[in-house]
Amino acid sequence: MNNQTHTDNQAPRPRVEKTESEWREQLTPAQYDVLRSKGTERAFTGKYFDEKRDGTYRCAGCGAELFSSETKFDSGTGWPSFTEPADRTNVVLEDDYSYGMHRIEVNCAACGGHLGHVFPDGPGETGERFCINSCSLELDASEH
Ligand SMILES: [Zn+2]
């Protein structure tokens, strides 16, 4: 496939591509709002902010491995928070100037889905706090 519409200064082409109607069919309305419309779920309403099980958090859009429960911490913000991604190449960080603020947006590298934001006030060695919407995640809980 030789698609010339892509220029060098754009983000890498997502590996998972679907039409908007395909995404609407696959995702719940809440997931669609976050992943495809860059929405933010209300704090303390998501299914994972207080999740304590071990496992791997995958992208709700495409299943890519995004975060490990080992890096999850209770930030008190009401959103699932992680000190770092499971694999840095699985997320893409982008400047976000919406709402009159400068924030760093976190997107899934594979499907381009919006996950949340990263802030420089994390408690771990990285000093980062990945503030992620529950809606964009699916926990693959490990068996014990
Ligand atoms: Zn994805």
Q: How far is the CA of 62 from the centre of ligand 1 (A)?
A: 4
Which residues sit with Cβ closer than 5 angstroms to ligand 1, an ion?
59, 61-62, 64, 108, 110-111, 113
Closest C-alpha among 44, 124, 41, 52 to residue 82: 124
- CA–chain centroid gap for 1, Å, is 28
Lookup result for tokens 């400068």: 102
Closest of 41, 40, 95, 48 to residue 67, by C-alpha: 48
Report CA(74)–ligand 1 centroid distance (Å). Answer: 24
**Which residue out of 59, 62, 111, 131 is catalytically annotated?**
131
User: Which pLDDT tens digit goes with each residue over 14-35?
Assistant: 689 999 999 999 999 999 999 9
63 alpha carbon – ligand 1 mean position (Å): 6
CA of 60 to the centre of ligand 1 (A): 7
pLDDT at 15 (0 to 100): 87
Question: What's the pLDDT at 133?
Answer: 98
Question: For the chain, how far is it from start to end, CA to CA, in angstroms?
Answer: 44
For the segment 48-107, what is each residue's pLDDT rounded down to a tens digit?
999 999 999 999 999 999 999 999 999 999 999 999 999 999 999 999 999 899 999 999
Asked if the model's pLDDT at residue 7 lies above 60, the reply is no
CA distances from 89 to 12, 92, 101, 109 (A): 11, 7, 26, 7
Position 8 pLDDT exceeds 50? no
